Amino acid sequence: MNDTERPVRIFFVRHGETDWNKELKYQGSTDIALNENGRSQARKVGLRLSRVIPSKVFSSPLLRAYGTAEAIMEANAGGAPVEVMDDLREISFGKWESLTYAEIMERHASDYKTWLENPFSSSPTGGESFESLRTRSARAAEAVKSAAAPGAAILVAAHGVVLRTLLSSLMDARDPRLMWRIRFDNCSISALDLWGGRPSLVFLNDTHHLRMDDDKIGMLSFPK
């Protein structure tokens, strides 16, 4: 098989843990750095991806995603530099950011209940609409696809909600509700192959590396 007959493989990594993740606070577009555990997670996901040599590396500009991408590339000799893509920024939750679920229900219960019932026709209090998020996720998807050459690997480091919408866009999902059926844990790895632009989901939300000693992580492989 020559390169023109091989797929583009896109690896998606959600950022490592932050203190707000640990405290179950909504983060959204607030720029929160990785905590100690998040930095450890980022090191482990870097070891897992050390044998993948991406031709392009795209990251959200937010510290928790960019720090994860940098940690991955520190373990990846010969990989591409990290390129910031603003369209990979997490959705803005507006006035809900820094609040827990209980605090949101205390201060913005009506908006939150409306958003839960139909997130596609309402917005978080003072936050970003899903239409806006889907528009920029579609732009990000096109940028990722246009950067890819047959047989190449691409790495995308971002956030839970934006990765859901990005993957849905790349999969040509017609039903926006599909995004809520996708899970991305902190420092999980997921992968999608593009065969001449046709998408094929390879695996989703792999976190095996986070439960292994560092010297054993290199034994893990990915599906061909």
Q: Where are the domains of the chain?
A: 3-92+128-217
Which residues are known to be catalytic?
Answer: 15, 90
Could you report the per-residue pLDDT of 155-202, keeping only the tens digit for each?
999 999 999 999 999 998 877 778 888 999 999 999 999 998 899 999
- pLDDT at residue 197, rounded to an integer: 83
| Residue (of 36, 37, 26, 145) closest to 90 by Cα position | 26
What pLDDT is recorded for position 4? 54
**pTM of the predicted protein model:** 0.94
Tens-place pLDDT, residues 23-40: 999 999 999 999 999 999
Which CA distances in Å does 157 have to 166, 174, 205? 11, 24, 13
| CA dist., res. 56 & res. 153, Å (int) | 7
pLDDT for the residue numbered 154: 96
Most confident of 81-90, 111-120, 176-185: 81-90
Q: Cα-Cα-Cα-Cα dihedral of 111, 112, 118, 124, to 10°?
A: 70
CATH of 3-92+128-217, one of 3.40.50.300, 3.40.190.10, 3.40.50.1240, 1.10.3720.10: 3.40.50.1240
Sorted by sequence, the CB contacts under 8 Å of residue 111 that are 6+ apart come out as: 122, 124, 125
Query: Is the confidence at residue 116, as pLDDT, over 90?
Result: no
pLDDT for position 136: 95
pLDDT at res. 1: 45
What is the rounded distance in angstroms from the CA atom of residue 218 to the CA atom of residue 62? 28
β partners of residue 13: 157, 189
182 in helix, strand or coil?
coil
46-69 per-position pLDDT tens digit: 999 999 999 999 999 999 999 999
Is 45 a residue whose pLDDT tops 70? Answer: yes
Q: What is the pLDDT of residue 107?
A: 97
What confidence category does residue 79 fall into, taking pLDDT thresholds of 50, 70 and 90? confident
State the DSSP H helix or E strand holding residue 130, giving kind and residue range, or none if neither.
helix 130-147
